[in-house]
């Protein structure tokens, strides 16, 4: 009998230790330190993708580091495709959200401008993207693009109106032109060249850093809303 009592006592102590260890793991898993990072999908074109830059200097990588510096643990998913139009974004938004998303950035329209796409077509495509995000209950920050004047004032007015009107219709957050931070605080638009690559279209690493600094507060608002 003493031997059986010793064996029973050993088993009981082992079970108690296992239970305590399991409880500790569950407690840690429930703590903020063990929470999975928020998943932020950045749907866009070459500006999002990081054209011409090493991966660590691209928009999504710099944004993820900036958010970390603000104390936010966020995985920024690079869903940018170089050359993509709003039509391309529309065709793959379901794929971009397939693995789940807590929030999404939408930065599309630059290539529509380069190709002179009818603003009504761009509007329909962006509307479909925002509709899909709403169906999946993914909050969105819509980042505007501004039309140049070479297509005439009517085209420019029609295109520039797309973003605020869709943001209001869908009840999503709106940020100013993606490239606006490159001229903010400068004497004239010519200073923007200092933050562009040699092609004159895509930001260099320093330009991306300025863009992230400019957009960062709006992104913070988005992810804090998503985390509620």
* Contact criterion met (CB below 8 Å) for 166 and 129: no
CA 1/CA 182 separation, integer angstroms:
83
pLDDT of residue 6: 47
Place of tokens 């603003």: 119
CATH code for the domain of 78: 3.40.50.1110
Tell me, yes or no, whether 146 and 158 share the same domain.
Answer: yes
CA 154/CA 156 separation, integer angstroms:
5
pLDDT digits (tens, 9 = 90+) for 142-187: 999 999 889 999 999 999 999 999 999 999 999 989 998 888 766 5
* Contact criterion met (CB below 8 Å) for 205 and 175: no
Mean pLDDT, residues 80-105: 97
Tell me, yes or no, whether 51 and 86 share the same domain.
Answer: yes
Tell me, yes or no, whether 142 and 155 share the same domain.
Answer: yes
Tell me, yes or no, whether 118 and 16 share the same domain.
Answer: no
Decide which of 155 and 30 is more confident: 155
CA 8/CA 89 separation, integer angstroms:
64
Active site residue 160: no
Tell me, yes or no, whether 125 and 220 share the same domain.
Answer: yes
Tell me, yes or no, whether 25 and 52 share the same domain.
Answer: no
Average pLDDT, the chain: 87
Choice among 45, 46, 84, 177 that is catalytic: 46
3-state secondary structure of 79: strand
- φ, ψ of residue 174 to 5 degrees: the values are -125, 135
Tell me, yes or no, whether 150 and 171 share the same domain.
Answer: yes
Other CB atoms within a 10 A radius of the CB of residue 187 amount to 7
Residue 189: alpha-carbon gap to chain centroid:
27
Tell me, yes or no, whether 131 and 22 share the same domain.
Answer: no
pLDDT of residue 186: 61
Place of tokens 């520039």: 160
pLDDT digits (tens, 9 = 90+) for 192-219: 788 999 988 899 999 999 999 999 999 9
Active site residue 46: yes
Tell me, yes or no, whether 167 and 207 share the same domain.
Answer: yes
Tell me, yes or no, whether 139 and 170 share the same domain.
Answer: yes
Active site residue 202: yes
- What percent of the residues of the chain are helix, what percent strand, and what percent coil, each to the nearest 5? 60, 10, 30
Choice among 127, 194, 202, 224 that is catalytic: 202
Rounded to two decimals, the pTM is 0.82
Supply the range of the domain harboring residue 18. Answer: 1-35
Tell me, yes or no, whether 111 and 201 share the same domain.
Answer: yes
Domains: count for the chain:
2
Tell me, yes or no, whether 153 and 67 share the same domain.
Answer: yes
pLDDT of residue 36: 83
């Amino acid at each position: 009998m003493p031997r059986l009592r010793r064996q029973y006592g050993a088993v009981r102590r082992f079970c108690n230790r296992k239970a305590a260890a399991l409880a500790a793991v569950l407690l840690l898993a429930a703590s903020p330190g063990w929470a999975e990072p928020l998943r932020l999908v950045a749907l866009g074109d070459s500006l999002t993708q990081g054209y011409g830059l090493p991966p660590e200097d691209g928009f999504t990588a710099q944004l993820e580091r900036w958010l970390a510096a603000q104390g936010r643990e966020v995985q920024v998913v690079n869903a940018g495709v170089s050359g993509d139009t709003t039509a391309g974004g529309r065709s793959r938004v379901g794929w971009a959200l397939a693995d789940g998303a807590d929030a999404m950035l939408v930065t599309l329209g630059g290539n529509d401008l380069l190709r002179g796409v009818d603003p009504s077509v761009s509007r329909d495509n962006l509307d479909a993207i925002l509709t899909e995000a709403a169906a999946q209950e993914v909050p969105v920050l819509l980042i505007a693009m501004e039309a140049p004047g070479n297509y005439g004032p009517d085209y420019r007015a029609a295109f520039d109106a797309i973003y605020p009107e869709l943001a209001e219709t869908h009840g999503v957050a709106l940020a100013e032109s993606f490239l606006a931070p490159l001229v903010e605080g400068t004497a004239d638009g010519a200073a923007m060249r200092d933050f562009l690559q040699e092609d004159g279209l895509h930001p260099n690493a320093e330009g991306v850093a300025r863009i992230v600094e400019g957009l960062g507060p709006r992104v913070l608002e988005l992810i804090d809303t998503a985390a509620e």
